[in-house]
Amino acid sequence: MRNPKIIMTQSSKTIKREIDDLKKIVRNQALITRRTIVKTSQKNEEYSLRNKVSKQEKKLKQEQYLRRKYPAVNEAYKHYLMTMKLVKSR
């Protein structure tokens, strides 16, 4: 008959190994979850949306300023608008 101490030692080693594996899996999943939460919050964050809107408005104002100041830029813009209308109509 087998010695019960040897069986307990082997099973406790197996259990310990399984617990260590589970701990690794939990750590990895926690890291993935944190990364996902951060990405989602950055996409939906109100502050970042406000920044995007303000940057777009700033860009439009700068373009208007350049069109008013330089006639060549205004002409190029008119050609661009005409090209875009032609592309949309097809």
Burial of 77 (0-12, 13-18, 19+ CB in 10 A): middle
Statement to judge: residues 40 and 9 lie in one domain: yes
Distance (Å, rounded) from C-alpha 88 to C-alpha 83?
9
Mind listing the pLDDT tens digit of every residue in the chain (90 residues)?
A: 455 555 556 788 888 899 999 999 999 999 889 888 887 776 666 677 788 889 999 999 999 999 899 999 899 999 999 999 999 876
- 77 part of a folded domain: yes
Structure tokens at 21: 């594996």
Q: How far apart are the first and last CA of the chain?
A: 88
Statement to judge: residues 6 and 34 lie in one domain: yes
- 50 part of a folded domain: no
Instruction: Give the residue ranges of DSSP H helices in the chain.
Output: 4-44, 46-69, 71-89
